[in-house]
Structure 1
Amino acid sequence: MGAMLTLEEAQARMLALAPQMPIEQVAAAEAVGRYLAEDLVALRTQPPADLSAMDGYALCGVGSWRIVGESRAGAPFDGNLMWGQCVRISTGAHMPKWADRVLIQEDAELVLPDLVHTQENPARGRHVRKRGFDFCEGDVVLPAGTRIGPAQIALAISAGHSQLPVRKAPTVAVLDSGDELSADPRACGDHQIPASNGAMIAAMLGGLGCVVQRIGPVPDDRDALAAALAKAEAADILVTTGGASVGDHDLIRPALDAWGAQLDFWKVAMKPGKPIMVARRGSQVIFGLPGNPVSSFVTAFLFVLPLVRAAMGSGIPLPRKATLAAGCDLPPVGTRREFLRAVWEGEGVKLADSQDSSALAALAAANCLIDRPAGADGIEAGTSVPVYLLENGGIA
C-alpha cells in the first residue's frame, strides 16, 4: 500500500466511503442527536405580532396615560389606543394597535387609580419585541446537516414543525476477536482478558442512535471468523477489533479478503492506532481496529464516529479541536503523530498517568486527547496545544 497515510488523508478517504442513509420523518421531540437531511424552513413567523418584553404598560404617545384595559399573554386587548392612553400589559402579550413602547412596572407611578405617570418617558420601541425579529415564515431556520439538540428541537417546533426529516441511523456490527478474550469478566483465567472493546465502541455509538449488533468474542480461527462475519451481512457498517496487525495470528485481513471485502487503506502514521484498516464490501464500510483498548478507542473516535455522523448527514462529521495551555511539560514526538491521553480541569491540560495503549485506567481518567505532530520538539508547560475534547464524541 506504499507509505503510510496521514490522518487527514485517511479521514478524507474514509469519509468518501460513507453510505448515504435514507431519509425518514421523526417526531421533533424525539430527534435529539440526529442530523437534518434537508433545510428546515419556517412555516410561521416568530413572534407572530409585536409583543411586550416586560410587565408594565403599553403606551401611546408621551406624558401621562389613562389606563383603558389590559393585554395578557393569550388574551390581547381588543381595540386601538389613542394618544395619551395605555393598557396594562404582561410579558409576551400582544401590543395593542398604535402602542409604540412599554413603560416597565418599576418605573410607573399611579397618580390616580386609572392614570399612569413616569419621570422619564421610555424611547419609542423600548421593551417591544417586533413581529418576526426571531424568524419569518419562509426563512431557513436550520440548514441541512445540523445536529439536533434541545435548542434545535425548540426552534423547529416554534417554526411550526412537529416532524423532522433526518437520515436513518445506520446499523453497526461490532466484532471482537482474539484467543485471549473472555466473554465473561467474572470467569477470566490468567491467560485471558475480558472482552471490553465491543462494549466500549457500542457505548461510543449509543449517542448517535445506532442499532449496534455485538458479535463475539471470536477466536483467532479462520472458520470461526468466517462464521462471525456472515452474521454481519446486513449491517451498514462493520467494526472489528483485534487481529488487524501482521502477526501469525492476526487473521482479520485474510478473513475479510476471503469474505469479499476490498481493502481501501491499511496503516496510518499515528500513535496509538497505526494498524487501522478500512475496507468496503458492496455498500458496507468495514473498519479493522487494533485490539489494544486505547488504540481501539482513539481510532473509533477519529474514524468510526465521523463516518457514522457523515452517513447520518452531519455537516461537520469530524471531531472539533480546541486550543488549550499545556499544564505540564510535554516530551518530543517520534516519527508518528501522537494522540496523548490527558485531563483538562479548567486550567492547563495535563497528561494522564500512562500513555500505554493498553492502559484503561488512564483512558477512563482522560477527558481529552492532545494532538502532537510527528517530529515535534518537547514543549514547556503553558504552551498552547491543539486538543480534542472527548465528551460527546468531540462534537460539543
Structure 2
Amino acid sequence: MKIDLIAGARPNFVKIAAIIHAIEKSEHPIKYRLIHTGQHYDESLSGNFFRDLSIPKPDINLEVGSGSQAAQTGAIMIAYEKILINEKPGLCLVVGDVNSSMACAITAKKMQVKVAHVEAGLRSFDWNMPEEINRILIDSISDYCFTTTLEAKQLLLNTGKEEDNTFFVGNTMIDTLLNFRNKFRRPSIWEKLKLTEGNYIILTLHRPGNVDEIKNLEITIKTILDHSRNLPVIFPVHPRTANILKLSTCQNENLYIVEPLSYLEFNYMVERAKAVITDSGGITEETTVLGVPCLSVRNSTERPETINEGTNELLGTDPLTIAPTLEKLFNGKWKKGKIPESWDGKTGGRIIKILNRLSFCF
C-alpha cells in the first residue's frame, strides 16, 4: 500500500509529522510520498523546519503559490491531477481544512483514489469562514474520517457517515507538540528583550477580518496594550500583516513586532507566556494542552472543546471584550482547564493501525 500525504501550509506539516513518525515506528510501515502543494510559501518551510520536526523534505512540491481562493484551488487540482495520472496511490490522506486539502481530496476522488480526512468533523457553523466550506466538502467525499473528539465523530454520524469508516483517534497536532516539548528552543528575542516566565503576552493575528482593516487592527492592538498592565506584548507577524502594520500607528514601548518564529521557538514562548491572544484555531489546542490562558479574537470556533474543557475563551472581534477578559486574567480568575480525551500523543499511531487494518480496501 502507498499513500499520498498532502500538506500545503505550515500547520499541515505539524500534523503530518505525527503521521510520518507513526509510520516509521509501525511494525508494518506504509509507503508514502509527501506532497507539498506550495499553497503557502514560507521561508520557515526550509531545511531547518523539516529538520526540527524530524521529517523528510517533500517528495513533490507543486509550487502553486498564492492567489485567490478559486485560482489557488484550481492550480492545485490541475497540478495534483498530473501527479495522479502518472502514478495513483492507494489512498490520499489530507489534514485540516486549507485549500490544499480540499483541492487534493476532490481531485483524488474524481480519479478513483480513496480519501482519508484527518481532523474531520470540525464545524464552526460560520459560513463567513472559507475553511468551513472546505471542511464540509472534504468530509462529504472522504472514505475514511479521523476525528479529534467524540463530538466531531457524532456530528459526522448524524450527517450519514458510516460508523465503520469514522474513527475517533485524537489530535495529531498534539502528538507533535508533546513529542517535541522537551526540544522547545529559546529564541534570541528572549535574551534581547530580557523576558521572564509568565511576564509577557503572545499576540498572533492573521485573519483578514482582524488585520485587513487598519483602523480595526489599531484599535484591537491599542486596547490590548492599554489593559496588559505594561507587560511586553510579543507579536510575531507574517510579511502580509507586517506590511499592513507599516501603514498603522501601532507603536508602543511594550509592543514588540518580531519576525515569525520557528515551531520550536514559538512554542517555547507560548509555554512560558502569561497568556496568548490569537485568532488561530490550532494555537487554542496547543495552549489547552500547555495549560496557558488563551483569548480568541474570533466570532466562532470549530474547536469548542478548547473552550468547554480547555483554557481558551472566545471573545469575538469587538475590542470592547478585551479589557474585561484581561482583567479576569490578571485577577487570577482564569479557568484551569483540562486536556481533552485522547489528546495523549498517540493519535498518529492509532491512525496508522487503522490504515493497516483497512489496507485490503485500497
TM-score normalized by structure 1?
0.29
Q: Report the structure, 1 or 2, having the larger strand content.
A: 1
The structure number with the bigger radius of gyration is 1
TM-score normalized by structure 2?
0.31
